[in-house]
Amino acid sequence: MSLEPEAESPLATAVGAARWIRSAAVDDERGRHWRANPDPRGRAAMPDHPLSLYSGAAGIILFFLELAAATGDDGYLDDAAAGARYLAATWREQADLSLHHGLAGVMFALAEAGWATGEGDFEVEAGAVADHIVRSARPIDGGLGWTGDPAQRGDGGIILGLLHAAGILGAPAYQEIAVEAGARIATLVVPGHRFGEGACADLPLDAVTPGFLSGTAGTAFLLARLYGVTGESDFLGASRRGADFVRAVSAVTERCALVPHHIPQGRDLHYLGFCSGSAGVARMFYELHRVSGDAGDLEWAERLARGIVRSGAPANQSGGSWNSACQCCGTAGLVELFVGLWAATGHSRHLEFARTLGESLVGRATGHDGKGTRWYQAYRRLRPWEVTADTGYMVGAAGVGAALLHLDATARPQEARRLILPPDNPFPAIPLPSATLRRS
């Protein structure tokens, strides 16, 4: 299938992004990885994680797998397989065990590559990574863990990765250790409380972060997932404590809600994106609704979505929605939320806003040098002069392209194809809204 990237459609723009990512490919005897920023004299936002789901090969593999499914072009499967061979050859050099930056994300990408390509060696390596993670667990505070950090950037993400591995690899032992490690996190009074210390050089040491990737909401999401897996009420109770804390610190106006980036110092700074804002926190409330059936949790996910719409994003930029296109803190992460809410509820307003967001991403894409499509952005809000274009999933073109593919799938309900959603995305991975299927 051949599409010109200049065509103003989500799929064509994603194809253009793949062309640019291919220009960053580095092949050697171990396989293929991709430079974080191939621009001449370009400076990558995240240059030091070449294997990672966040900004390295693991995330780019996921994008190529989805693009192959969307276009029918097996050349993209070849790209993904080359990247998976690189992960298989090099993962033992990686010390970080986390989901977004380390081996749990590598494990996820290898398992997905094995599933999509049929190459059993990738699944074998995914299992080897999972075994290594399990062996690396250690006693912490009367329980079990790896980093001591319950957030998704730490033990929370590792547990999510093991739960996925247990299912896709058919290995219940991975779920058992995930549940055991989660039991320690469930004993915390407020899951994810006080993450300022050591989390970010830009935060005060006493900051409390209610957000998703490094804060309470992400930990509450994990605990809700564990309740869904086990049915154990302790996990649901702990998740509710986290959700109650997020509700208590949020700014609520009429039927809208916004979450502070951190408190008490940043109470009036409301991120909208995945990592520390509404798009991520809404995932937690939807997951609680999914496993408990409580309509109040779904209403809070809707409140956060309405807050994003009311903010005027993507046209209106603010302290919490700035010049950023990526999955982590930008417009692509908002696309994932609204496509997901549409798939979960069937409400057309979510799809309409997702299309508005997609039009913004397509419109701001650039391919000025003829090498393909990318997005220039100020990844770090506090350094607006650092404008970069990256290839990775959470920070760059692969993730923006994946969000556009998910949007494209909403327009093709007759074309069943598998969407690859990371373990921290709770929404239905199908083009047609599940609510429509239920009505049928």
Strand, helix or coil at 114? helix
Residue 53 backbone dihedrals phi, psi, to 5 degrees: -65, -35
* Lowest mean pLDDT across 199-213, 299-313, 403-417: 199-213
**What confidence tier does 40 reach under pLDDT thresholds 50, 70, 90?**
confident
- Greater model confidence, 193 or 280: 280
Instruction: Please report which confidence band the pLDDT of residue 438 belongs to, taking 50, 70 and 90 as the band edges.
Output: low
Nearest-angstrom CA–CA distance, 396 and 401: 9
Mean pLDDT of 259-282: 90
Q: Is the pLDDT of residue 31 over 50?
A: yes
Measured CA to CA, the distance from residue 169 to residue 165 in angstroms comes to: 5
For position 265, what pLDDT does the model report?
Answer: 85
Burial of 162-199, coded b for 16+ CB within 10 Å and e otherwise, reads bbbbbebbebeebbebbbebbbbbbebebbbbebbeeb
pLDDT one-digit tens code per residue, 219-249:
999 999 999 999 999 999 999 999 999 999 9
Q: What separation in angstroms does the CA of 202 have from each of 198, 265, 270, 380? A: 10, 12, 16, 11
Average pLDDT over residues 145-170: 96
> Which residues are paired to 28 by β-bridges?
31
At 118, give phi and psi (nearest 5°).
80, 5
At 340-399, the pLDDT tens digits run 999 999 999 999 999 999 999 999 999 888 899 999 988 776 677 678 899 999 999 999
Q: How far is CA 81 from CA 49, 90, 184, in A?
A: 19, 14, 37
**Among 73, 65, 11, residue whose Cα is nearest residue 400:** 11
| Across 236-264, average pLDDT | 93
Instruction: Examine the pLDDT at 324 and tell me if it is beyond 60.
Output: yes
Task: Return the half-sphere exposure (C-beta side, CA atoms, 13 A cut-off) of residue 274.
Answer: 30
pLDDT, residue 2, reads: 40
